[in-house]
Amino acid sequence: MLKMYIIRTAAMVGLTLVTTLVFAQNYPDKPVRMVVPFAAGGGSDTTGRIVGQRLSELLGKNILIDNRAGAAGLIGTELVAHAPADGYTLLLADASHSSNTFVYRKATYDAIKSFVPISLVATTPVMFCIHPSVPARSVQEFIALARRDPNKLSYGSGGVGALGHLTGELFRSRTGIQIVHVPYKGGSLSVSDTIAGQITSVFVVPAVAAPMVKAGKLRAIGIASHKRSAVVPDVATFEEAGIPDFQVLNWFGVLAPAGTPTAVINRLQDGLMKTLSTQAVRERFTSLLLDPVSNTPDEFRMLIETEALRWSKLIKQAGIGVD
């Protein structure tokens, strides 16, 4: 009996392995859906469409972009978390993926356990910009102003728990200053009100801020990266301003539902790596002030886990949360 059981078990395992191998070899045999959990026209949507177009050519099947905006990205992300783990539903996530489940307590997925990371596709650092009327030419001068008049200065963000909000809270916690957070229903509104002088500062990505800085409508005084940006080389890093280890990147990457076969993940990762080595894709990203980046699933998972640990501590400390 035991011998027969072992034989049957071995046969079942072998059949499963063969079936998985055949599935992976034939993958994809139909269009693949890439869910973007934000509205069309934004940074995530643009990034997804650039990647999707080239990846479609490499895989020989269409990558269909499906915008599922709402609840700061939770709606689209939940859809993918609960989708079949067959490689035909993917997620184009951004940096908020690492923090959203700590901000939005009713999320029905786990940012790490519910997904298999495939690869990063692009990154961009956060810049600190102020209205030109603010009498500060550097981060240190801004800090001095804030200490002189607590809660007089303010910063805007795209909403509670948005990357701009978390960056502002990180800045406040690392410096001890008191500045007022003003949340908006979208990052563009916070930038517009900074330009109008309704608020004094905003943490925003270079693609949005650089044209306003060049036009004199905003003044960039800090960039949250380990080195200066070639786009705005005169803007000092936060480390140069005396705040060590202050790097905040908005990143974009592709994930699949947990349980997706490893062979399929590897096929997609290889396709993304080739996509990001394509000159046309790299030039398109560079024109949008994005740095094209690919990595392995393990490296991407490590990034998500590291970011989740950092932001979860800050969110708890600052009492940030939405029920």
Between 4-13, 36-45, 53-62, 259-268, the lowest mean confidence (pLDDT) is in: 4-13
* Residue-averaged pLDDT of the chain: 92
133 with 206, same domain? yes
Which residues constitute the domain of residue 144?
A: 127-223
Quote the pLDDT of residue 42.
86
Residues 112 and 10 in one domain: yes
Residue 160 lies in a domain: yes
The answer to whether residues 150 and 217 belong to one domain is: yes
The share of the chain scoring above pLDDT 70, in percent, equals 93
Greater pLDDT, 229 or 87: 87
* Band of pLDDT at residue 72, cut at 50, 70 and 90: confident
pLDDT in tens, 125-182: 999 999 999 999 999 999 999 999 999 999 999 999 999 999 999 999 999 999 999 9
- Segment 56-82 shows an average pLDDT of 95
What is the mean pLDDT of the segment spanning 108-116? 97
Query: Residue 229 falls within a domain, yes or no?
Result: no
Q: Is residue 164 part of a domain?
A: yes
> Which pLDDT value is given to residue 1?
56
Tell me what pLDDT residue 288 has. 92
The pLDDT tens digits of the residues spanning 172-225 come to 999 999 999 999 988 889 999 999 999 999 999 998 899 999 999 999 999 999
Q: Does 269 lie in the same domain as 195?
A: no
Residue length of the chain: 323
How much is the pLDDT for 22? 52
Same domain membership, residue 100 and residue 10:
yes
Number of domains, the chain:
2
User: Which pTM does this prediction carry?
Assistant: 0.88
Sheet of 249-257: strands edge to edge? 63-67, 32-36, 89-94, 249-257, 115-125, 291-292
pLDDT at 11 over 70: no
Residues 236/223, Cβ–Cβ less than 8 Å: yes
Instruction: Indicate the Cα dihedral angle 104, 107, 109, 113, nearest 10°.
Output: 30
Q: How confident is the model at residue 13 (pLDDT cuts 50, 70, 90)?
A: very low
277 with 172, same domain: the answer is no
Tell me, yes or no, whether 205 and 304 share the same domain.
Answer: no
Q: Are residues 15 and 102 in the same domain?
A: yes
Angle separating helix axes 206-214 and 187-195, nearest 10 degrees: 20
CATH of the domain at 178: 3.40.190.10
In a domain, 279, yes or no: yes
Between CA 108 and CA 104 the distance in angstroms is: 10
Residue 239 domain-assigned? no
In the prediction, which pLDDT does 3 show? 57
Q: Is residue 234 domain-resident?
A: no
Classify residue 242: in a domain, yes or no. Answer: no
Q: Which of 223, 239, 265 is the last residue in one of the domains?
A: 223
Are 27 and 103 found together in one domain? yes
pLDDT at residue 2, as a whole number = 53
pLDDT of residue 105: 86
Residues 118 and 136 in one domain: no
Residue 272 and residue 182 in one domain: no
pLDDT of residue 123: 96
Whether 237 is in a domain gets the answer no
- CATH number of the structural domain spanning residue 278: 3.40.190.150
Q: Are 17 and 116 part of one and the same domain?
A: yes
Banded pLDDT at 323 (limits 50, 70, 90):
confident
